[in-house]
Structure 1
């Protein structure tokens, strides 16, 4: 497994990113949109596993405008006042539009590194909405978009992904936590309606018994069996859309 750090020039500065690939010259690329705790070993391990499926995987630091920051312990960060305040500042200071705009540079970086084929996106927690919104903006490049325990996918905000469903040309997979205040059943229904109206090929799957964060190994909500189910779904989804 080859891993290297790269720097990506954006309209607002320079974003650091991890790039993961096997030695087989992967043509299809994947952008992995981080959760709220930033790039760290847990996400690196997830990117390595995804890259082992034959993809070039990019994990950009979405908070680069405010670097340096952290590091944060995903198990305790929201339970401590100082780290919680720092995280909330990073979250509020990094808008959906910023990430979507940056995603054009992320796509260019993948192409420059040799991933000239189709591109998929996958996001966790805050990254879930960004993976879908990026697909809406760059429909000519992004062929598959997945979200796991993504929050506010069909909320009231103008940047809610369901409002931009008409721009999505990719296939979409949404894995929702059975217990998740950030994506309650009414939002799931609203997202499904928006995607169906826009004629987007999609699946929304409810992982009963899972809590927000179940896929990521350093979360307190991590569930090994649920995470393996997520990996099976993601491997099949990208296999059909990026290789088919």
Structure 2
């Protein structure tokens, strides 16, 4: 399956990225996939490759490109409890600098680039994301309601997008939350906001999970929850995207 290394022009420079898609000469529905805060690394390439194997063109940008090309952080092969403090000490300033204005400027560039690729089919696109990438995906869907047909976010602080942004979304939604990220009461409050906005969504806590449960190179990984993530994500995409 082809993997392209790409350079995406943005309002603030050039974002490096990669894309994975079926090698069949056809056009395929597009998915913009935002990484988690640890960024592009082998596990993200695995997830993107598996998704592409289901018939999608998957674009994964390095949204921390302002700090350099991926990998922006020098990460250990396995991110366990001992490694986390040092990693987060370097990561948090970059997250704090990644303002909503930056998110929205980049989203414009990423979607424009994605839909112009010759391997991408016409029609609505999907945005997905993990951890902070899920928040970026949510902002992207809110800013492009006529273009984004499906939104999925996993162990992500989606509520930080704010009720006004959530109300702008027209995409079908799945939010898969970690058990340590929000309480059942907080989930109920978020879901009331989604209900009030009249959104077509599912939003649930994945049992027995901690933040980061999809990432097999961390001590947060939960194999059963990763399977549930695929069970939720694939039907969402196939039921929304043309040709999916």
Answer whether contact 1:19 1:58 (CA < 8 A) is retained: yes
Question: Does the Cα contact within 8 Å between 1:5 and 1:18 map onto a contact in 2?
Answer: yes
Choose which of 65, 70, 74 in structure 2 pairs with 1:71: 74
Aligned residue number for residue 89 of structure 1: 93
Aligned to 1:214: 213
**Do the aligned partners of 1:133 and 1:161 also contact (CA within 8 Å) in 2?**
no
Q: Deviations over 1:80-138 (max 9, x none)?
A: 55433211111111123312221111111111213233200111111111111110100
Paired residue for 1:3? Answer: 3
Which is bigger in relative contact order (C-alpha 8 A, separation at least 6)?
A: 2
Partner of 2:136: 130
How big is the shift at 1:233?
1.2
Instruction: Kindly report structure 1 stretches of 4+ aligned residues shifted beyond 6 Å.
Output: none
Retained in 2: the 8 A contact 1:78–1:84? Answer: no
Say what the alpha-carbon RMSD is for the aligned residues.
Answer: 1.8
Q: Which blocks of at least 5 consecutive residues in structure 1 are unaligned? A: none
The count of residues paired between Structure 1 and Structure 2 equals 237
**Structure 2 spans left out of the alignment, 5+ residues:** none
List per-residue Cα deviations over 1:131-161 (Å, max 9, x = no partner).
Answer: 111101001110000011112x224xxxx24
Match of 1:220, SS state, is: coil
Question: When the two structures are superposed, what TM-score results if normalisation uses the length of structure 2?
Answer: 0.90
Q: Name 1:141's counterpart in structure 2.
A: 147
After superposition, the Cα gap between the structure-2 partners of 1:141 and 1:101, relative to the gap in structure 1 and judged at 3 Å, is same
Give the secondary structure class of the aligned counterpart of 2:199: coil
Task: Measure the CA separation in 1 of the matches of 2:42 and 2:173.
Answer: 27
3-state SS of 2:179 partner: strand
Given that 2:180 and 2:210 are in contact with CA atoms closer than 8 Å, whether structure 1 keeps it comes out as yes
